[in-house]
Structure 1
Amino acid sequence: MHIVLRYIIITALFLLFYNLLASAQLYSPCDKKATAETSALFFSMQRLLGAGVLFGHHDDTAYGVNWKFELNGSDVKSVTGSYPAVYGWDLAKIEHDSINDINGVPFKLQKQLVREAYARGGINTFCWHMDNPANGKTAWDTTEHTVKELIPGGVYHDVYVSWLDKAAAYMADMKGPGGEAIPILFRPFHELTGSWFWWGKNTSSADEFKTLWCFTIDYLRKKKKLHNLLIVYSAADFDSEGEFLERYPGDDYVDFVGFDNYCYTNVADYQTKLDNRLTILETIATKHHKVACLPETGYEQIPQADWWTKILLPTLVKHKLSYALAWRNGTASHYFVPYPGQISADDFIKFYNSGKVIFQDRLTPLSVYGKPNSEL
């Protein structure tokens, strides 16, 4: 009974705080024709800044450690009792009319899981490890200077447009129970300041990249009439404002600014770099009227038992950050959130109970889309 009462009190106080934040200055989506649900989500995520960091996990309900495609499956929920607030997905392979995405998730199932996340009031975000349109090789193929050949007038422009058509048709078919388009945080060309993808800084000039970005967003909005997309500009390594903004396409084409940052063996170095970059990011977000986020992070296999509360949480809460998403749980040797019995599972529960992060159970009552949600 004490636990139930505590939850009710915490929820009531949180809702009060959330409503007080509603009077703060809010910025509209960069798409002036954004749907009502998409605008409501963007406003809601701004109101939540400072109330808690939304926690996300890639492919959370599709598979995990030692399970795959199970009803109500989720390693996050198995440990904490709640789903994450943000659900990451990948469009990769939709460009080839594949049945499955890059991680083997059937697109039919992926679409169903997106709808389920939306129904419980969760937030869906998509990246796209798009294969190289110039040669059909993977996203990690950097043998050609592809970007300049995809913009209007380029040799492979028509191929690129045909791939955009397939992705647009797929995203347009993601509908809520009332037939409304499900809002999506769309994160194209992620880790764009890196050199490992065909859209990276080593295979294109800043102007070429910005031209491709603007063409892509304009095409999806104006030609394909997708007005349910909130655009995430996601960098990789950077150490200054100028470095982060070198390939920035402009405020009319971005809603969220963020970067991907993983923890490796040097945990102290990860924490220092994450803190420094979040400080820079906050400044950029404020100047450009955008929302700061951490679209990918994590520590593979989480070998440090208290990593969640001693490394990640203290760093996140120092900054005005919307969401932080951990990468996927692919196999018993490749995972980024704990499963029951994993060495950091108890600490992950403390992370969840800290009151400083928001999982699905705290998000659902807020009705971030402006309408009641159907389930937890």
Structure 2
Amino acid sequence: MKMSMVESKSMAFAAVAATLAFTSLVAFSAIGNDFIQQRPPNLSSTVELNADGKKHNTHGRTRGRSAHGRSRKRDSGESSPTAAPTIGSNSRKHHEDVESSPSAAPTKDSKSKKHQRGVESSPTVAPTTAPGRKGDHHKNSPTVLPTTGVEGAGFRAGVSDGNASTLTVKLWDALHDLSDADKMGFGHQYDNYYGQFFHKPTALNQSDVYNSTGDYPLIFGYDLQAMLNGEDYLSHIMWAANQGAIIEFSWLANNPLSNGDDHECMVDDEQSLGLNPLDEILPGGAAHETWLGWLRDLASFFHKMKLGDGQEYPFLLRLFHENNEDWYWWGSTCSRNHDFKLAWEMTWKYLVEEMDVHNALFVFSPSKPSSAHFEGRYPGDQYVDIVAFDRYAVVDTYVDYMKQDCSKVVDFAISHGKIPAIGVNGYL
């Protein structure tokens, strides 16, 4: 099975294109960007929509795993900056990659604060998990896109948000169309914001990928916690958007109970009184209002992502990534499957139905799906648009694990009518 990908590396790696041990350059799902009406041909792997409504390849998309698009003259234009809400960069430390078996989640009542404990699910019959990933300085997000033809049995095309904007639907359609293509897109986290020799450049076209290859990536990834902490990268995002790039967000969210970092679980902390952060962001929980406040800040930011004609630019939101492992407060050690699904549903509904965010495609991205059970934490077809996965492994096992993960996720995504993708991946 073929698999195209979309992914964004978390703020973590910060961007240094060739210096990080585990890929700072990430394979993103190559998607023809026909979702933007007027697209300057500045990025590789683009597809243009002619006046007759037919798609045209304006630049040949790279085949296989090639990371290079055609070399073209650099566009030196600076876009006019736009004010962004507060948020700042988060530090990243990595934990051991321990295989876990999350429990299956029962049906839920999204209004009650306390929920029944999920039924333990049987462990996966997959190969041994990849060795622990250490030194993952700043790792995170992104998303992979379509894999092979998703038009098969059980496929139900459509965006989870019934009121999604026209551009958002076009983005989904473009990703879906790519699912049968023997091509791959290319992406990079913080490509024009954080590099080997720059940080927050005033020249919005700075790029380690461009410096290395003579071309820009198709997908530009950013982490939302950085924005909430004070980083102002909206002008950089909109520069990329105006070139027709795909924008992807991860969210290494702080612990909403303690405001500690994303690795602070607290469940076993004597000072936490046994409070579970994920459970406490649900209605009636101690961190519910804090979480909603953060979502309001994010929604305000998303609404500022506007093109010159006033249309809000679509993006991929890789929410609660690697949720079936134990290193994040939303992971399998710190939360039950049932609570995880309720938290995802609540977050989706608040952003979409309460805050009118209609330019998002939601990405469910567990870790190493062929080695660690993830199905029990799937939020439900009505709250997911893309099913992706993350995988890190040593060189000797990387290829085999990636094949197994792709097979697992493609089958799962197609059976649920979703676009399969690859999120973060790299060597340990």
- What TM-score do the two structures reach when normalised by structure 2? 0.60
Equivalent residue number for residue 158 of structure 2 = 28
| 2:320 matches 1:189 | yes
1:255 alignment counterpart: 385
Q: Is the 8 A contact 1:94 1:166 kept in 2?
A: no
Instruction: Provide the residue aligned with 2:262 in structure 1.
Output: 139
Cα pair distance change 1:161/1:66, threshold 3 Å:
same
Q: Which residue of 2 aligns with 1:86?
A: 219
Among residues 394, 399, 408, which one is paired with 1:280 in the alignment?
A: 408
Using the alignment, how far apart are the partners of 2:160 and 2:263 within structure 1? 30
Aligned to 1:120: 243
| Residue in 1 that maps onto 2:91 | none
Larger helix share, 1 or 2: 1
Q: Using the alignment, how far apart are the partners of 1:13 and 1:80 within structure 2?
A: 15
Q: Partners of 1:135 and 1:68 in 2: how far apart?
A: 29
Residue pairs, 1:350-369, within 5 angstroms:
none
Identity over aligned pairs, percent: 31
Q: Where does residue 293 of structure 2 map in the other structure?
A: 162
Secondary structure of the corresponding residue to residue 191 of structure 1: coil
The alpha carbon displacement at 1:299 in A equals: 3.6
- Give the distance between the partners of 1:286 and 1:171, measured in 2 at CA: 29
**Which one-letter code corresponds to 1:165 in the other structure?**
R
Q: Distance in 1 between matches of 2:58 and 2:298?
A: 41
Unaligned runs of 5+ in 1: 1-6, 16-20, 101-106, 301-376
Task: Give the equivalent residue in structure 2 for 1:62.
Answer: 193
The DSSP-based 3-state class of the residue aligned with 2:377 is coil
Correspondent of 1:37 among 159, 162, 167: 167
Size of the alignment, in residue pairs? 273
Q: Which residue in the other structure is 2:210 paired with?
A: 77
- Secondary structure at the aligned position of 1:69 is classed as coil
CA 1:26/1:154 → structure 2, altered by over 3 Å: closer, same or farther? closer
**2:317 equivalent to 1:178:** no
Q: Are the counterparts in 2 of residues 281 and 292 from structure 1 also a CA contact under 8 Å?
A: yes
Residue identity in the other structure for 1:233: F
Describe the SS at the equivalent of 1:186: strand
Structure 2 unaligned runs (5+)? 1-44, 46-55, 62-148, 268-275
Q: For the Cα contact (< 8 Å) 1:187–1:233, is it kept in 2?
A: yes
Q: Give distance in 2, aligned partners of 1:225 and 1:68.
A: 32
User: Deviation string for 1:164-188 (max 9, x for gaps)?
Assistant: 1111111111111111111010111
Instruction: Show CA shifts across 1:42-73 (max 9, x none).
Output: 10111112321221111011121123334221
**Contact 2:160/2:382 (<8 A) preserved:** yes
* SS across alignment from 2:406: helix
Cα RMSD for the two superposed structures: 2.4
- CA drift of 1:93 comes to 4.3
CA contact (8 A) 1:93 1:130 kept: no
Does the CA contact (< 8 Å) of 1:194 and 1:237 recur in 2? Answer: no
Write the distance in 2 (CA, Å) between the matches of 1:13 and 1:189: 34
How far apart, CA to CA, are the structure 2 residues paired with 1:146 and 1:93? 20
Match of 1:243 among 370, 373, 382: 373
2:236 maps to amino acid: L
Aligned equivalents of 2:238 and 2:197: distance in 1?
24
Partner SS for 1:249: coil
SS of 2:351's equivalent?
helix
